[in-house]
Amino acid sequence: MLVCHCNIVTQKEVEEAIIALLDDDPWQLLVPAKVYHSLKKRGRCCGCFPNVVDTIIRVTEEYHRRSDTGGAEIVTHLDRVRALRGQYGSRMHERRTTGNRAA
Ligand code: FES
């Protein structure tokens, strides 16, 4: 499934890039620009970034759950990040409707 239409990036490529970055440093802060940079791409319209943030949260949760390193604390922190996104960040999605978010 395509996540980014501007760069022709699939969901699987994003997930693999996130896992590769987490393998390098499991505690680094991942943002869409960093993931795209590792794919040698960059945001153009950036309309896909909210989806990429959701993917980063989901894949990071799964990664740390599998690695058994303080999983309970990490999930709590990610729940707080998710709540902050709902509170501040992801209501408008670049003026796109929620239906537009599914690539
Ligand atoms: S859809 Fe990804 S940069 Fe435009």
How many whole angstroms from 31 Cα to the centroid of ligand 1? 14
* C-beta of 14 in contact with ligand 1 (< 6 A): no
28 three-state secondary structure = coil
> Can you tell me the distance from the alpha carbon of 76 to that of 81, in angstroms, rounded to the nearest whole number?
9
Looking at residue 69, its pLDDT comes to: 63
Helices (H) and strands (E) in the chain, counts: 4, 2
21 three-state secondary structure = helix
Per-residue pLDDT band at 74 (split at 50, 70, 90):
low
Most confident of 25-29, 52-56, 69-73: 52-56
Atom of ligand 1 nearest to the CA of 45: 4
**Domain extent for 54:** 2-100
Per-residue pLDDT tens digits for 76-102: 767 777 777 777 665 555 555 556 655
* C-beta of 5 in contact with ligand 1 (< 6 A): yes
> Can you tell me the distance from the alpha carbon of 17 to that of 65, in angstroms, rounded to the nearest whole number?
18
Q: How many structural domains compose the chain? A: 1
Inform me whether the pLDDT recorded for 9 exceeds 60: yes
* C-beta of 48 in contact with ligand 1 (< 6 A): yes
95 three-state secondary structure = coil
Beta strands in the chain (DSSP E): 2-4, 9-10
Higher pLDDT, 99 or 14: 14
